[in-house]
Structure formats: C-alpha cells, structure tokens
A = this chain, B = another copy of it.
Amino acid sequence: MAAPFIWRHRVAFGDCDPARIAYTGRLADFALDALDAFWDDLLDGKGWYHMNVHQGFGMPFVHMEYDFTAPVRPGEILECRVWPEAVGKSSVALIVEGWQTGRDCFAARFVSVFADLAHMRKMPVSAAIRGALEARFPGLSSNAAPMARRPDGVRPFSIAARDRG
C-alpha cells in the first residue's frame, strides 16, 4: 500500500490538561483535523468543507474509536498518519495513527457514511472519491462494507438493559 498521508502539529500548552499531558479531547481533535487535511489533500481541496458547503453532501461519522498507548507530550511535534482501511458502497473507514519522536501514541479508526444533505439519506461513494482513493491506495479493499459493529453483529457495548430512570 502507498505511504500514508502525514499531518503534523506542535503540541501546545493549551492542548494539555492538569495531568500535564495532551488532553484526551484534544487528541480526538488532532485525529479529526488530520482526516480533514487528508481529504482536502486527496480531493484537491474538495474535502469536508467543500462537500458540505458547495456540493450538497457530507460524510458524517457513524463510528470512531481510539486506542491510547503513550501520552502525547507538549512542545513536541505530533505526527498523524492517515490511510483508508476500506471503502464500501456508501461508507469508508480510515485509520489515523499518532506518534511522537518515533513511538506510537494512539491509533484510531473512523467510519463515515456519505449522505445527501437535501434528503439526509445515505448515498453511494461518488466515482470521483472512489477513484481518488483507489489511485493513491492501490491495494484498498472495496469488496466489504466498513463496519461500525463487530463482525458477529453485536454492538460493541450493550445499551439495551439499563434503567433510564
């Protein structure tokens, strides 16, 4: 597979919390900013903003997950590497991995569904977007829908059996 897209950010004082490492909420932002930059780069500036404002569709998230393995430290560059895991009929899964100075800090996975903003209905991945993904990532899997759920069909956590008081 092709080399991933790389996004860089100097971790600031204001990105850190009273534990004196980057705040978890800011790590979520970093991965999202890396994805935003990935799409603008892949689609020649026609990423999230252009889709939503000028093209009448968006790609809202249906799922995201993060595994954290090392703290992200202030004053250093965080590098996020982005690449697609799979593209389905109307959805796409991407991986973002964050690291500093050669060690992995976190890995995250995102599933988005393309949606027509006028009718708020899911829509097929456009030929232009599928083509751009496949051109840059030749080995990209496209014969299975990215999943927000476990293969066994069970939601990753149960929200059925609790008292909503």
- Residues of A whose CB lies within 8 Å of any CB of B are 1-4, 6, 10, 12-14, 16-21, 23-25, 28-29, 32-33, 36-37, 40, 45, 47-50, 52-53, 58, 60-69, 71, 74-75, 81, 83, 85, 95, 97, 107, 109, 117, 148, 150, 155-157, 159, 161-165
Contacts and interface: CB of A to CB of B under 8 A. Distances in A.
Contacts of A47: 13, 75
B109 A53 contact: no
B68 A65 contact: no
Across the A-B interface, the 3 shortest Cβ-Cβ residue pairs: A3-B165, A65-B65, A28-B28
A19 B24 CA distance: 17
Given A13-B17, A157-B95, A148 B67 contact: yes
When all copies of this chain in the complex are counted, the total is 4
B75 A68 contact: no
Contacts of A29: 14, 25, 28
B62 A68 contact: yes
Given A24-B61, A37-B12, A53 B165 contact: no
Contact of A14 (B23, B40, B68, B85): B23
B165 A109 contact: no
